[in-house]
Amino acid sequence: MRNTAKIATAVLAAGALTLGLSACGSDKDSASDTSGPLIVAASPTPHAEILDFIKKNLAKKAGLDLEVKEFQDYIVPNTATEDGSVGANYFQNQPYLDDFNKKRGTHIVPVVTVHLEPLGLYSHKVKSVDALKSGATVAVPNDAVNEARALKLLASKGLITLKDGAGTEATPQDISKNPKNLKFKEVEAAQTPRSLDDVDAAVVNGNYAISAGLKPAKEALVLESAKNNPYGNFLAVKKGNENDPRVKKLAKLLTSPEVKKFIEDKYAGSVIPSF
């Protein structure tokens, strides 16, 4: 992945996670001690918000002791799940997980798909795609899967054309036609909203758009379609922990009518239930 320059940040975050968990005073890790709380690593928005709704409104009745740990990055939630520091995570889609497992030798598997966050193109400088000038700079996420997803979004609207066979690891080098001569600035996914003042437009993941106060359903110049979309976000665990009774309880709650209504009411189309 091209965001390896951020490893130092990930290491610090991992250290913070370890310190936080050690304060619980348990000799067992979260994944092996099924009698303890289920600790779930999650992105703040909307994942942790959805989990917090469950914790406050549904978990007690279901007999689930749930603890939510928030992370801004896309690395530590998986590595912490792999090493047992947390029992599960909720932040990613299948193409990203496949790429992560392949490159890092982890063994994370999906449990249940919950929602889709449509990827969108945003701008502080133009009001439409047509208004992008020749030579405009567009920021895109720098991790392999999300960059390819961003380029596919631009291609779906005719801004660029990708070479035949460009898949889930497509980069700007895979662009065959670029009629507006767009320039691409690769940045960490979490930084794409902050780049909007420095570039002409930016492709932003749904969770980061919402966290930054953007309204995907209203403000995106271009927005991913939910139809046949492979990028639904799911609850995930280390392989072998799928039958953990705590995980099964959470999976059921995540796909409950109450959670569906919460997502629809709170996010107004910016986050879409996938069940």
CB-neighbour burial class of residue 197 (10 A; exposed 0-12, middle 13-18, buried 19+)? exposed
| pLDDT for position 127 | 96
| pLDDT for position 217 | 86
| pLDDT for position 29 | 59
Tens digits of pLDDT across the chain (275 residues): 444 333 334 434 444 444 344 333 343 455 666 789 999 999 999 999 999 999 999 999 999 999 999 999 999 999 999 999 999 999 999 999 999 999 999 999 999 999 998 899 999 999 999 999 999 999 999 988 899 999 999 999 999 999 999 988 899 999 999 999 999 999 999 999 999 999 999 999 988 998 899 999 899 999 998 778 888 999 999 999 999 999 999 999 999 999 999 999 999 888 999 99
Written as one string, the DSSP assignment of the chain is: -TTGGGHHHHHHHHHHHHHHHHTT--SS-TTT-TTS-EEEEE-IIIIIHHHHHHHHHTHHHHT--EEEEE-SSSSHHHHHHHHTSSSEEEEE-HHHHHHHHHHH---EEEEEEEEE---EEE-SS-SSGGGPPTT-EEEEE-SHHHHHHHHHHHHHTTS-EEPTT--TT--GGGEEE-TT--EEEEE-GGGTGGGGGTSSEEEE-HHHHHHTT--HHHH-SEE---TT-S--EEEEEETT-TT-HHHHHHHHHHTSHHHHHHHHHHHTTSSEE--
